[in-house]
Amino acid sequence: MGAGGDAVAGGRGSGSAPMPRRPEELERELRERYRHLQMTVDELAERLRPRELARRSAAGAAGRAKAALHGSQGELRVERLGAVALGTAAVLAAVWFRYRRRG
């Protein structure tokens, strides 16, 4: 172990700079680590906000829908659009018939 602390004494693993010797250096490093930790916590909190989760989910769904309905050159895939329209019409018809039977 070298004077002034080595990688193990500094608690940073091998290949790291030695631990600061003066209180001012230690305080500066602690402030830098605190700021970095605070930025990380803020970023995680933003990612987990319900509004942000909903926005990312909606953006992902819109992207998947666009990819499903458009070809690689951006052209509209009419056969898929027709299939979606037909499926939607079938579901709406089934719901309509079901409610009509009840009434």
Taking 80 as the threshold, does the pLDDT of residue 1 lie above it? no
pLDDT at position 20: 56
Same domain, 57 and 97: yes
**Residue 5 tokens, joined:** 């602390």
> Residue 60 sits in which domain range?
49-102
C-alpha 5/C-alpha 77 separation (Å) is 66
- Could you read off the pLDDT of 49-102 as tens digits, one per residue? 988 889 989 999 988 888 888 888 888 888 888 888 999 999 999 999 998 887
Same domain, 58 and 88: yes
pLDDT at position 103: 63
pLDDT at position 40: 95
- Confidence band of 41 (pLDDT split at 50, 70, 90): very high
Residue 1 domain flag: no
Residue 13 Cα distances to 80, 93, 96, angstroms: 56, 66, 68
